[in-house]
Chain A
C-alpha cells in the first residue's frame, strides 16, 4: 500500500524526494532503544520493521503500522493490570503486589455503588459494596487506596465514568495532601460517558448534563494537569455488550470525534484535546480480525483528526490505546483453558501495537480473580514480552495481503457507520452520538449483534471449546476462587459512619451548596468546587446528589 501523504508539518519531514522508509529511518535513529539484542533465538538479526521503501512505516501518518517509529524496541507495552475489590486497604495490598511483581501501571476497579455515585450505606448499595471493585466513599478511602504508593512516579488509571469528575477531585485532593502537586499526576480517567448509555449502562445523569461534566474535566486537565489523559474512549464495553468488531471500532471512534467537538464547544482547539484522548479496545478471540481492527483504528483516527478536524499536531493524529482481553470469551467450564484464550488475545493486542495491556484471569467467568489467577495472567504478558521475541519488529503482519485487505475492510465498514451517525446529528458527530443514544440506535444495534452471535453458537455453526464441544473435563471443578463476603460491606459502612462523625458538617454543607449552585450555571467549570468538596470529606454520594438536584437522573426506556 502506498503512503500518499507527503506534506507533514512536523518532525523535519520536508526533505524533498525522501522515501517513507528514509523518513522512518530518521525518526528511528532519534529514538532511544531498550537494552537487549534484537535477533531471533537462533541469532538471525532482525530489522526494526520490514517493507519496501514506498510502504507505510510506523511513526508516520497515517500510523497504520504503529504510532512510534521504534515501537516496542524503545519501550514494551505497559502491563497494566486492573484490580480492585473489598475495602480500600485490600486493594492497596493488591496494588503493592502488582508493583512488586513487575507491573508498571495501576488500574483501579471500583465497586458498583461507587460507579453509580452511591455511598456504601445507600439502600440500593445492598449486596454490592466492595464486590466488583473497591468501595470509595470519601477522601479517607482514597488515602487508604494509595497509601505507600508515590503517585508522582507511577501512572494511575481510574475506570469510572458517571462520577469521573468526582473521583478526579478526590484523587487530586489525596495527592496534594501527600505533597504531590496536580501537575505531576500522570494517568487516565475513563470518563467515557457516551459508551455508558450505549453499552455499559452505568449512568446517573441525562446524557447532555453528563457531557457538561466531561467538558469540565477536559478543560480542567488541559489547563492544570499536563500529564493526564482526560478520557479513555472505550470500545471494550461496546464489544463485551455484543457488538461486532467493526461496530466496536466505529462507535468508539465516533465517540472520540464527539468529545473533540465537545471540547471545541468549550473553546479548546483540537490540538489541545486530541493528544489527551487515549483509547481502549477489546482483544477478542478472532485473532486476525482484531489486529486489523487496531490498524484500521489508527489510520481512521489520523485521517479524521487531520482532514476533518484540522489537527496540526502529530500527537493529535496518533491513536494510542489500551487493550484488554475479552471477558466474554472466557468459559466457566474447564476454566484453566482460559489461559490459552487470553494468551492468544493478548498476542493480537501486541501484534496490533497496543500501548498497554490487561490480561484477564482464567477464573473470571466464575468470580472476581484470585491472586494466583491474576498473577498467571500477568505472567502471560511477561512470556509474550520476554520469551517470544514478538516485540522485536514493528507491525510484523503489515504487508500480508490478508491483513491489509482486512484492515481496509474494517476501515470501509467504519466509514459507513460514521456516515449514519453523522446523518443522525445533521453533520455533527457530537449530536449524532447523543441522538443515537436517545433514540436507542446504538443499544439496538448492539443487542441485534449479540443475538446473532448467540444464535450461531446455539445452532452449532460456531463451537466453544468446553461449552458446545470437547466437554470431557467439565466436571473437574477444583479451582479456588476469590470469596467476597458481606463482611467487607459491614466494615465499609462503619468506616463511612466514622468519616461522617469526624468531619466538619458545616464545611461539608457549604461545599455542597456551592456545588449545586455552580452546577446550575453551565458556564462554570465544576472541578474547583468538586475538589473543595472532596477536601471537606463530602462523600461521593453527597456530591453526586448535589449535582443530581440540578441535573436530574436518567432512566433508560427498557427495550429488548
Chain B
C-alpha cells in the first residue's frame, strides 16, 4: 500500500524543524509526502488534502494553538465531505489528549515520539479508514 500524507503548518507557528524531519522519516518509510508550506489556514489545508487525494493529514503545532486550530482542520475537511483522518504532532500537554480525541484527532505525537511509532500509527490509521 502506498500511503500518501499531507503534512501542514496551520496558523502563525513557524517552527518547521519537526515537520521537515518527520516528512523525511515518512519518506524513508516509503510514504509519499506533500508539504504546503508555512502559514496555512484550516481551509487551505482541507482543500489541498482533498485535491492531493491523501490518506492522512499530519499537523505540526508547537505554539499552543492546537486546541483552537487542529479541530478546525477536521471540521473544514468534514464540511467538504471528506473523512481523511487528521493526526497531530508537537508540544501538546497530556491533559489535552482526551479532548483532542473527542474533537476528531486520530492520534497525537508528543515530543520524543520515535520514527517507528509515527510510521506504525499512521499505517494503522490509514488501514482502518480505507
B112–A333 touching, CB < 8 Å: yes
Q: In the complex, what distance in Å separates the CA atom of A477 from the CA atom of B111?
A: 14
- Establish whether residues A556 and B37, one from each chain, have CB atoms under 8 Å apart when the complex forms: yes
> A307 at interface (Cβ–Cβ under 8 A)?
no
Closest to A485 in B: B67
Interface members, chain A 114-143 (any B CB < 8 Å): 115-116, 118, 124-128, 131-132
| Minimum CB–CB distance for A367 against chain B, Å | 5
A84: interface (CB < 8 Å)? no
Q: Cβ of B25 and Cβ of A365 under 8 Å apart?
A: no
Residues of A within 8 A of B93 (CB): 366-367, 481
Interface residues as binary, B14-32 with A (CB distance below 8 Å gives 1, 0 otherwise) = 1111001101110100000
* Chain A residues with CB below 8 A from B114, complex form: 458, 468
Q: How far is the CA of A127 from the CA of B67 in the complex (A)?
A: 8
Q: B35 and A458: CB pair below 8 A?
A: no
Among A94-114, those with CB < 8 Å from B are 112-113
B81 at the interface (CB under 8 A from A): no
Q: Kindly state the separation between the CA atoms of A118 and B112 in the bound complex, as whole angstroms.
A: 32
Q: A331-B112, A458-B116, A486-B68 are in contact. Are A127 and B11 (CB under 8 A)?
A: yes
B12 lies within 8 A of A124 (CB):
yes
Q: Which residues of A contact B124 (CB under 8 A)?
A: none
B11, B16, B41, B91: the one contacting A367 at CB < 8 Å is: B91
Q: Are A454 and B94 in contact (CB under 8 A)?
A: no
Contact A127 B69, beta carbon cutoff 8 Å: yes
Q: Does A207 contact B (CB under 8 A)?
A: no
Contacting pair A451 B112 (CB below 8 A):
no
Contact A125 B25 (CB under 8 A): no
B103 within 8 A of A: no
Q: Do the beta carbons of A240 and B12 come within 8 Å of each other?
A: no
A462-496 interface bits toward B, Cβ cutoff 8 Å, 1 = contact, 0 = none = 00101110000000010001001010000000000
- Say which residue of B21, B35, B63 sits within 8 Å of A131 (CB atoms): B63
The one of B25, B68, B110 that contacts A126, using a Cβ cutoff of 8 Å: B68
A356 to chain B, nearest CB (A): 24
A-B pairs under 8 A by CB, number = 105
Report yes or no: B17 in contact with A241, Cβ–Cβ below 8 A. Answer: yes
A450 touches B20 (CB 8 A): yes
Question: Cβ of A403 < 8 Å from any Cβ of B?
Answer: no
B65 touches A127 (CB 8 A): yes
Q: Is the CB of A477 within 8 A of B37?
A: no
Asked if A556 and B91 sit within 8 Å, CB to CB, the answer is no
Interface of chain B residues 1 through 54 with chain A (CB within 8 A): 11-17, 20-21, 23-25, 27, 33, 35-39, 41
How many angstroms from the CA of A429 to the CA of B21 in the assembled complex? 29
Chain B interface, >50% SS class: loop
Which of B24, B63, B67 contacts A451, CB < 8 Å?
B24
Indicate if A417 sits at the interface (CB-CB under 8 A).
Answer: no
A240→B21 CA distance, assembly (Å): 13
Per the CB 8 Å criterion, the residue count for chain B at the interface is 35
- Kindly state whether residue A560 has any CB partner on chain B within 8 Å: yes
Min CB gap A341→B, angstroms: 13
Interface residue from A118, A241, A332 paired with B110 (Cβ < 8 Å): A332
User: Which partner residue on chain B sits nearest A113 by CB separation?
Assistant: B12
Smallest Cβ-Cβ distance to A240: which chain B residue: B17
Q: When chains A and B are docked, how far (Å) is the Cα of A158 from the Cα of B69? A: 28
> A242 on the interface (CB 8 Å rule)?
yes
Is A557 part of the contact surface with B, judged by Cβ < 8 Å? Answer: yes
C-beta contact mask, B79-103 vs A, less than 8 Å → 1, else 0? 0000000000001011000000000
Contact yes or no, B35 A558, CB < 8 A: yes
Cα-based distance from A333 to B114 in the complex (angstroms): 13
The docked-state distance in angstroms from the alpha carbon of A557 to that of B116 is 29
| Cα-based distance from A556 to B20 in the complex (angstroms) | 14
Contacts of B91 in A (CB 8 A): 332, 365-367
Find chain A residues with CB under 8 A from B110 CB: 332
Q: Which residue of B lies closest to A130 (CB)?
A: B64
Could you tell me the distance between the alpha carbons of A491 and B12 in the complex, rounded to whole angstroms?
A: 20
Q: Which of A202, A365, A555 contacts B14 (CB 8 A)?
A: A202
For B13, the chain A residues whose CB sits under 8 A away are 112, 128
Q: How far is the CB of A444 from chain B (nearest CB, A)?
A: 10
Least Cβ–Cβ distance between B121 and chain A, in angstroms: 15
Given contacts A332-B111, A332-B112, A477-B94, contact A560 B35 (CB under 8 A): yes
Question: Are B12 and A125 closer than 8 Å at their CB atoms?
Answer: yes
Write out the residue numbers on chain A whose beta carbons fall within 8 Å of the beta carbon of B20: 447, 450-451, 560
Check if B64 sits within 8 Å of A367, measured CB to CB. Answer: yes
Q: How far is the CA of A558 from the CA of B21 in the complex (A)?
A: 14
Instruction: Tell me whether A558 and B12 are in contact in the complex, defined as CB-CB below 8 angstroms, given that A367-B91, A451-B24 are known contacts.
Output: no
B14 touches A368 (CB 8 A): no
Q: Is B115 an interface position by the 8 A CB rule?
A: yes
The listed residue (A201, A242, A468) touching B21 by CB distance below 8 A is A242
Q: A475–B12 Cα gap in the complex (Å)?
A: 32
Q: Which residues of B contact A89 (CB under 8 A)?
A: none
The reply to whether B68 and A201 contact each other, CB–CB distance below 8 Å, is no
A118 contacts B33, C-beta separation under 8 Å: no
A200 at the interface (CB under 8 A from B): yes
- Residue ID in chain B nearest A112 by CB atoms: B12
A477 contact set on B, CB distance < 8 A:
94
Whether the Cβ atoms of B21 and A454 lie closer than 8 Å is: yes
Chain A 362-374 near chain B by CB (<8 Å), digits 1 or 0? 0001111000000
Nearest-neighbour CB distance to chain A for B13, whole angstroms, equals 6
Tell me how far the C-beta of A410 lies from the nearest C-beta in chain B, rounded to whole angstroms: 22
- Known contacts A112-B12, A112-B13, A113-B12, A558 near B67 by CB under 8 Å: no
Enumerate chain B residues within 8 angstroms of A468, measured Cβ to Cβ. 114
Return the CB mask of A422-447 against B: 1 if under 8 Å, else 0. Answer: 00000000000000000000000011
Which 7 residue pairs are nearest across A and B when measured between Cβ atoms?
A127-B68, A201-B14, A558-B37, A127-B65, A112-B12, A467-B112, A131-B64
Instruction: List 11 A-B pairs, Cβ < 8 Å.
Output: A112-B65, A118-B12, A124-B11, A126-B65, A242-B17, A242-B21, A332-B111, A332-B112, A447-B17, A447-B24, A559-B35
Binding site for B on A (CB under 8 A): 112-113, 115-116, 118, 124-128, 131-132, 200-202, 240-242, 328, 330-333, 365-368, 446-447, 450-451, 454, 458, 464, 466-468, 477, 481, 484, 486, 555-560
